[in-house]
Structure 1
Amino acid sequence: MKDFQWFLTPLVTSSIFVASPSLAATLASSVGELSLHNINQIPQDVATLTDTNTFATAEIGSTTALAQAQAEFIVGASTSASLNSDSTSFGEGAIYQGIADSISQAFGNFSVEANQFFTLDFTASLNLEASIDALQSESASAIGNLSLFLIDSTTQSIYESFSLFSFLDSQGDNDYLDYQASQDITFTLDSSGTSFGGTQEVINASVEGSLEHLFTSSTNLTLLAVTRNQASVSSVKTPESSNPLGLLSFFSLIGISFGVKSIKRQAVRVR
């Protein structure tokens, strides 16, 4: 293996549709960032993957959808990985719809000897906004998810996991910020910039944490980190489309199931 490896995968997608002069306006944005550092084991191989997609249509008005994603995994004296996905949609008029979806992933395969620790530190953030001018005629929503998993490469069982989930919807009362973490992950969460309700809703959440897992026998591991963000706007008159982006669902794209024991789960709600 080389002393230094750098895998970088950037991707940007945009859609713009203009049909006529504008009326009222909506904005939705969702940005997720996840950074893994101080990884104490050297990976045997690493890879990154990004995907973005946008959809925009307007009969009366205009709409713009922008999505970008980036992932990198650096192997060297200080092994680290960083991911970013950013989705924004803007619309105005009487009949329009815009959706932006972005996802980034980073993978690393490791071989850990018996009675050794696998450790890392991580920082993460989710920043979402859903803003409308008129509640009766406009809709804006934003989704943000980020996760990291430590997986047995042979059995696909999950040793450790951390996930942060968020959702805003200007037309509903189901806004939330939620997390789950396995027993060997410690972290602090700051969500003081979060505001639900009204015509402008915001989630600003940041996390600092660490993972430390002791392996009593030699084990082949896969470290997986994922960020996924979606932003949607529409006039209330616009029919809901059925997955116009064609992206796979968040967890089916990851290709693993949740089987983590000793889960800590807590919903953070602000009214």
Structure 2
Amino acid sequence: MASKMNRMLSSSSRMGSQVYPQEPTPMHFTQLFYPKATAMPPPATHTNRCRRRGCGGLGCCCASICATLCSLLFTLVFILGLAALIAWLVLRPIYAPKYSFGDLQIKTFNLTPQNTLNANIVYNIMASNRNGKIDFKHNAIAVHTSYGGQVFGQASIPAFSQGHRNVTTLTSELVVNNFEFVPASLGTALATDVNRGSVALHARGSAKVRVKVGAITSFAVRVRVDCDFTVKPPTATSPGSVLNKTCVVSK
């Protein structure tokens, strides 16, 4: 019995003296999902690969082309602006073209019993160019004549060229036959003025003028002259005449 107990104790001591292997330490979740992750370098040491690459890529070529095109465009705009300034300084007249109405010849100005107008008026228009080295090219001049705001006739003067330091006198004849005013009250008012011997008329002359220096001709500029006349219509015993005249030149 004693020997059996000794064997059991000896077997128990041998079992106690055996060393079992230690359980492994559990893995962190980052090691499970990113087993081969590598740490990024610090921000201070991280450099841009494009900067190290220099300016040898396609992007650099595009930037160079854009810079060249912008430079050429700027140069072209500057040259065009300079040319326009020089042309303006050369073609700009010191004195603008000027029109004025001279004396009128009122050959006929009467009303029928139906208050329709018959008139024959000759205009003398003077065009003035006071510039020393600049010529003017005048388009056809249109002359409109009105009473009470209603135009009852139009005359015209053909186009012409005018040299420097020149005053040109032009003649235009207005012929009106049986013009009927609308409303009829205008015809009645005109008949009253004719019988009184004082009629207020308005004449407007307008044309487009170009400046010419040598072989260079500018674009056209409209010039206009407005004149208010007070006329005495002719009668069987006396010719017509101008009692008063006021003219204004504008563009």
TM-score (norm 2): 0.28
Structure of higher RCO (CA pairs closer than 8 Å, 6+ residues apart): 1
Q: Which has the higher helix share?
A: 2
**TM-score when normalising by structure 1:** 0.26
Instruction: Report the structure number with the largest CA radius of gyration.
Output: 2
